[in-house]
Structure 1
Amino acid sequence: MSNQTTALPTPEQFNALVRARRSIQPLQFEPGRVVPDEVVRELLENANWAPTHKRTEPWRFVVFTGAGLQRLATFQSELYRSWAGASVDEKKAQKLAQNPLLASHVIAIGLKRHHILPEIEEVEAVACAVQNLHLSAVTHGLGGYWGSGGITYMEAAKPFFGLDKEDQLLGFFYLGYVQNAPGRNIRKPIEEKVTWVRE
């Protein structure tokens, strides 16, 4: 048996990774360039190692790629049109029909409900899983974007993604190669958001 341990990133390397993460819109992806499925599987495996209270592992992912992107695009644009009726926003409908086609993969983000825990704890676990996924994407030079608009909170969308009534659809993670270098990210100083209690 080997005594070698897994080499961990240095604090400096990890700091650089976290601060390099950006939300990259699908319009910023390289058209037609496809991420290998084995890379996507690696990202999902890292997502699977997120913290989870009582080990419920509530995250569920449906991965769309190839012709599956058109299937997703058609489903969500038609569901939105049906839901909106006479009040349909054509610009929004077109965006729903086109955005998936700009990505290499679109990952639907689901929450499988476990009633032994408050729902908020399950949401928090799924969010940690998505952060793992997104940071992993950065290490591969990929762009990622977690969108929660469109059909995300429509009850009628759930069955399409294998979710039951008590489950939640929490949005879509768009994945692709970045066409242009992402811009500078900005955060307000941490001192504005932290209170220290020392006595």
Structure 2
Amino acid sequence: MEDLVEFLKRVGPEYFLEPLRPHIRTKHLKKSEYLARAGTVFREMYFVKKGGCVMYYLEGGKEVVTQFFFEGELMCDHYSFLTGRPSNQFVRMLEDTTVESLDDETIRQLYDEIPGLERISRLLTERTCVRLMFTLASHKNDSAEVRYRKLLIQRPQLFQRVPQYLIASYLGITPVGLSKVRKRLSGNPKGGSFIKRV
């Protein structure tokens, strides 16, 4: 099971990342438990060590899913974390989940103590920005069917671990709309092989 330090070693030298360990906090959460609620400020950067969660906001009383996070992924509302402003996001566990975290004050302190850590942080932030821009472009330009296909190819595990109504919300369609997309693809030779996996 990969932890936060092992994850960071993918983008930085091992010798200066080990000193991070004493500063990392571990939290265990049960399925349906909340890690964060709208109105709070994200002061910690989280790493999902085990399990998974959904991030969403409320619009007209309905959940609008912005992202899913599973093992080996960093989780944060970057807008709130970087600006210090309250978030409009909720983070709810989809499974029993273990997360590790570093708080913002510790991170700033470690920038001075650990050479290269700030560069690693910048690289990870850039990757997050690219992923977010890709997702926004897809939601704006692609049809529901294309968005579904992309998600199926890029993150197939979601369809085994996430309720269909949350996937529908993430894709920007209704559960009925998702059922129609799945039905169309199940009758399409090019899409059928994917549908059989979910």
TM-score (norm 2): 0.26
Higher relative contact order (CA 8 A, sep 6+): 1
Choose between structure 1 and 2: higher strand proportion: 2
